[in-house]
Every structure is written in structure tokens, then in C-alpha cells.
Amino acid sequence: MQDEDDWDARPVPFIVMKGNEVSASKIEFEVTDEARDVLSRIDSPISVLSVVGMYRTGKSFLLNRILLDRKDGFPVGSTVNACTKGLWIWSKPLRGKTADGSDVNVILIDTEGLGSLNANTQHDCYIFALALLTSSFFLYNSVGTINESALENLSLVVNLTKFIRVGSSVNGKEEDGMEFASYFPKLLWVVRDFTLQLVDQNGRPITSKQYLENALKEVKGFSDKVVEKNRIRNMIKAFFPDRDCYPIVRPVEDERLLQSLSNQGEEVLRENFVKQMKVLRERVFNNSEPKTVQGGQVSGRMLILLSESYVKAVNDGNVPSITDSWSMVCDSECKKILKECVDTFDQVTSSLIEKGDIPMDEERLKEWHSMQKNQLSDLLLARTGSFKGEFQDRYLHALDDSLSDKLKELLKKNAELGQAAIHTMIETIFSDVESSLNGGKYKSWKAFEKDRSEAKEKFLREAPAIGKRDEILLQHLERLFCKAGSLIFEQMVAEREMMERECKRECSEVKHKAKEEVMVLQQEMEEAKLRLMHESRRWEDGREEASRLKELLEAEEQKSRMSEERREESETRMKAAMRDLEAAEEKFEQERVKLQEQLEKKDMEMKRLIAMLEDSQSHHGDTTAAAQQKIRDLTKEREDMMVQLNELTKEREDMMVQLNELTKERED
């Protein structure tokens, strides 16, 4: 649907009568192109509010001031003639709310007034029936109260079975209208210029709905007139189970303003009337349920199709059938959805080809097709969800058939593109093998077979498994085998001939070279004989010299053995001297330590005696003399020890001298 700013808000003729005069014998209607243009742009479900009533009762004013909230809009007349002809719609959808708070587009329909001077009963019945068939909210407008006169004005409902059918028009079965309730819209009876108090016979307050229900109660009596009155009441209750009433006071006190009421500002209107307008507006637009037929929601485009079907039945002299018309609408809508699904598949397929994703492996292509088919089937089921199961099943099968045909076309296209792509891939992948083959680079069949096998494996990995891929590959390999066999065989023959020529040349060179080498060897043998004779003479001389040297060597060895014996004796003496020296060293060290300890003890004894001597000189003369004698004895002993230590040191030095002499002798 277009943005709201794109809509031109104005009244547009919807269903109008062909010609200007109402003919008693033939009445024909038509759906206008303007209405088609407006409604066909609305793809979403719509709520349709139609206002119906006797002519000159202010239906257009009700639409303009109460529902559109504007002075102008639908044309309003000031004469006794009906101003609106046929059914008109407001070109700009209004925004309404469903019971659950969802947004819905609301279409307003203004109808030609019933009972006008230039219309007949049949014409009024068609207007009334078309308004009922196209709307989801039926607002009946009357003036004053709901009395016998007002109910008689609604006597058109008695004849609805003559102008509307629920079932198929071809079965010929007469209908009593009991099924109308499930197809008719909800009814809101707006009573204009209401002056009564909403109380019952006992003066207790009642609601406007109770007021309507009281008015629809059967009248007592058995006369034909009473039966007719009750028939009207019962049909209203049977046809409109969802019904209510809304009374509105007179808009102005001054009756002179009624003729120009549409031009008056809101400040002229009665305050209570203004409040009631706002309440009615909110009540209507906050309870705008989508138009439905047999559970299926109706869009703007579908409303056009329904209306055209009803009008065609009227023009053909038939009774409009709700189910027949709805089946036609469902069929048309399903065809449209089917076409959109198929077009979507074509677009996706074209995009697939344009992006170069085709050709592809046939199994992958079938999987892709299956995925697209499932998505489009889900889309078709979702968009036809409000239609009968038979329509869904029929068009689901039709979609399946269409997409199956599309798959065949796609596989054919894939094979065509794939064949060209396969030839290109073969030329590309096997180009190196062809170049090597043409250039004579293969020295053996094994080398050719290795490259050919690698190229084949690469081709099978990269080339999609489509069409006659394997057959094309086999043909190419056969041609390559034949070409390779011929070229490699010719090359092998040429190489063999060349090898034979090379072999003969090499044999000739070898013979010539061998002859030269024999001559060189003979010359070298003569020279070797001369050198051998010369060496023999030198060998005899050398043997005599060797004999002389042997005698000298034996003499030297004799001298060496004697020197070795002396050296061993010297070693033995030196080792003995070393052992003696080590023992002397150890003994010297022990004696030295011992004498040192004794010297230290003597020194300590002398120090002690000297201290005693100094301490006791003045007190004990005898003791001092004894101490002095003891000191002299200790001193003598210490001197003897020092002599003994010096003797040990001298003995050690003598042994060191002896060791040095032995060392020198050994070195000599």
C-alpha cells in the first residue's frame, strides 16, 4: 500500500448505475475505474464501513462531521432530492484499530438514500444489498426514534432473500436467509435528533442497546399487519446478531441552521452533540474489524473483485451469490499469488544465471530447486491461509506443476551452459598436457599418463556433474590418447634412430681412443723397463749400505742396553733416596713438632717461674733461689732441644743434596 501522503482525499464513485434514469424493467450497475484505482492499491486487509439510511436524513453529514471530522467531503444537498447516487467511497483509507489493537485500513462508503423520489423499491433493495455485501460495519442512519415507521423503513430486509444468495446460484435451491448472519456485517443503528430519555416503562435507566432490543421485541397480535411487523423485527435480529444502537441529540437548537449545517463551525453545534460525535468516532474506529468472507480477510483488490462479481450477477438478471463470488475472488487471488510465486522463482533463477552460479552440479541444482519450491510453497500457503483448503490444495498443486516444468527448463538450460563450460574447462585443464604433447616433451608413455591422470582428476573435481560431462570427457580422452600414441611413437622411433647413430659414433671414437691408449701404454712399458733396471742397480747398492747400517745399529743397541741398565739402577737408587727422604721428612716433621711442643711447654714453665720469682723475691728468699735454679735448668734443657732441632735440620739438608746429585746423574 502507498504512503498516506500519496493519497488524494476526496469522494470517489464506487458502484453506480449505468445511465441516469432508473428503469423499472432493467437496472444495471458498474464498478468505476476510479474505485478500481483506489482499492487495487490496498493489498492488506481492510475494514469497510458503509452508512445507509433514508434519503435526506443526513448520512453524508454523519460521514463528514463525525467520521471524517471535516466540513467538506461527501456532497451534502439541501433539497428533497437524493444527493448521493449509488455507492461512493472516500479515496484515502483511514486508520482504525481492531479489537486486539492492530492497525487496519478503513474504507468509508456513502450510499444513495433509500426511498428517494426518482428511485423504485428494486433499486433501493440493490443499493441496500450491495452495501451489506461489501461492508464489515453497517451503520444505519435514521432520525427521531426507533418506532414502527423507522422499522418499516427497514422492511427491505424482508426482500433480501430475493436479492442475495449464500449458496451457489446454479443449484436452484431456495434459501430462507438463515445463513445470512455469518456473512452480514455488524449493525450500528445511529438514531439522529434523539429526544427521549433512555428509561424503560418503569422509569429505570437502560442502555442504548437495551433500547434497540426493546424496539425489536415482537408486537402482540395475529393480524397480517402484526405478522409483517414481527417478520421485520425477527429478520433484523436473525440477520444482525452483532447489533447495537447509538442515539445522538439534535446538532443545533436553532432549526434555521439545519439547512446550512454542513457549513457551520463546531462552536455553533451543541456541546452534547460534539461530545457524542467524538464518542461515536472512537467507537467506530477502535472496533474496525477486517472484512471477511468464509473466514478469509478481504483486501482492497479483493473487494473490487467481489463487487464486480455482485454487479455482474445483478446486470445478468441473477441473484448475487456470496459463495460463488467469494470462490471467484479466491480463485483470482490465488492465481495472482501463484503468478507472483512463479515470477519470484523466475527472478531468482535469472539472478542465479546472471551471477554465474549456473551451470552447477545437477544434484545441487535439484536441491536448490527443492529449497526454492519449499519456500514458495510456504509463501503460497501463508498468503492463501484465509481461503478454503480446496483453493490451497489446488494452487499448491498448480505451483508444484509450474515449478516442475521450470525445473525441466532449468536443467535443460543448465545442461546447455554446462556443455559449453565443460568444453572450456577441458581445454583449460588439459592445455598443459596438450602443450607438452605438441612440444614433444614426453619421453615416455608413463610421463604422459601421469600428467593426463592428474588433469582428469582435477577436471572431475572442478567440473559440475551436468549433462554429458563424462561423455565429453571420454571423447576428449580418446582423442588425446590417439594423438599421444601417434606422437610418442613417432618420437620414440626418432629417438631410437638418433641413439643408434650416436652409438656408432661413440664406438668409432672408442676404437680410435683405444688404439692411441695402446701405443701410449707400450711406450710407458719400455720406459718402465729402463727404470726397473736402474732401480735394480740402486737396490744392490742399497742392500750393501743396509748391511753396514745394521752393524752400526747393533752396536748402538748394545750401548743403549748398557745405558738402560745404568738408568734403571739410577732410578732404583733415586726411588730409594726418595723413600728415605720422605721418611726423613716425616720423621723430621714429627721430631720438629714434638720439640716445638716441648719448647713451648718449657717457655711457659719459664714464664711461670719468672712470674713466681718476681712475686716472691721480697717474701721468700729460699723459694726464689730454688726458682732461679729451676729456670737455669729449663734454659739448659731448651738449649739442648734447639741443638737437637738444628741437627735434624742439617741431616735433612744433607739428604736433599744427595737427592739432587742422584737427579743430575739420572739426567746425564
467: Cβ contacts below 8 Å, ≥ 6 apart: 359, 362, 414, 415, 416, 418, 419, 422
Is the per-residue pLDDT at 430 higher than 70? yes
pLDDT tens digits for 210-247? 999 999 999 999 899 999 999 999 999 999 999 999 99
Query: Average pLDDT in the 373-392 region?
Result: 84
- Model confidence at 638, pLDDT cuts 50, 70, 90, reads confident
Is the per-residue pLDDT at 646 higher than 50? yes
- Model confidence at 545, pLDDT cuts 50, 70, 90, reads confident
- Model confidence at 201, pLDDT cuts 50, 70, 90, reads confident
Query: Average pLDDT in the 530-544 region?
Result: 74
Please tell me the least confidently modeled range out of 227-241, 426-440, 622-636: 622-636
- Model confidence at 603, pLDDT cuts 50, 70, 90, reads confident
Residue 126 near residue 314 (C-beta atoms within 8 A): yes
Query: Average pLDDT in the 50-66 region?
Result: 82
pLDDT tens digits for 152-200? 888 888 888 788 888 775 555 656 667 888 899 999 999 999 989 999 8
Task: Count CA atoms within 13 Å of residue 7 on its CB side.
Answer: 22
Higher pLDDT, 457 or 119: 457
Report the run of H or E that residue 31 belongs to, with start and end: strand 29-31
Share of the chain above pLDDT 70, in %: 84
Is the per-residue pLDDT at 282 higher than 90? yes
pLDDT at position 490 = 65
Please tell me the least confidently modeled range out of 421-425, 484-488, 596-600: 484-488
pLDDT at position 528 = 67
For residue 248 the three cell numbers come to 445522538
pLDDT at position 108 = 94
pLDDT tens digits for 500-518? 777 777 777 777 776 777 6
Average pLDDT, the chain: 82
Is the per-residue pLDDT at 453 higher than 60? yes
Question: Could you check whether the bond before residue 241 is cis, i.e. omega within 30 degrees of 0?
Answer: no
Report the run of H or E that residue 188 belongs to, with start and end: strand 186-192
**Residue 393 CA: distances (Å) to CA of 385, 398, 616:** 11, 9, 150
Please tell me the least confidently modeled range out of 290-294, 320-324, 571-575: 571-575
pLDDT at position 623 = 57
Residue 370 near residue 406 (C-beta atoms within 8 A): no
Higher pLDDT, 560 or 364: 364
Is the per-residue pLDDT at 427 higher than 70? yes
pLDDT at position 78 = 45
pLDDT at position 566 = 75
**Residue 544 CA: distances (Å) to CA of 532, 549, 558, 657:** 19, 9, 22, 52
Higher pLDDT, 335 or 639: 335
pLDDT at position 301 = 93
Is the per-residue pLDDT at 271 higher than 70? yes
Is the per-residue pLDDT at 287 higher than 80? yes
pLDDT at position 668 = 64
Task: Please report where in the chains the cell 691408449 appears, as a residue.
Answer: 517
For residue 43 the three cell numbers come to 493489498
- State the pTM of this model: 0.62
Task: Please report where in the chains the cell 723413600 appears, as a residue.
Answer: 579
pLDDT tens digits for 459-474? 777 776 666 777 777 7
DSSP string for residues in 2-13: --GGG---SEEE
- Model confidence at 487, pLDDT cuts 50, 70, 90, reads low
- Model confidence at 432, pLDDT cuts 50, 70, 90, reads confident
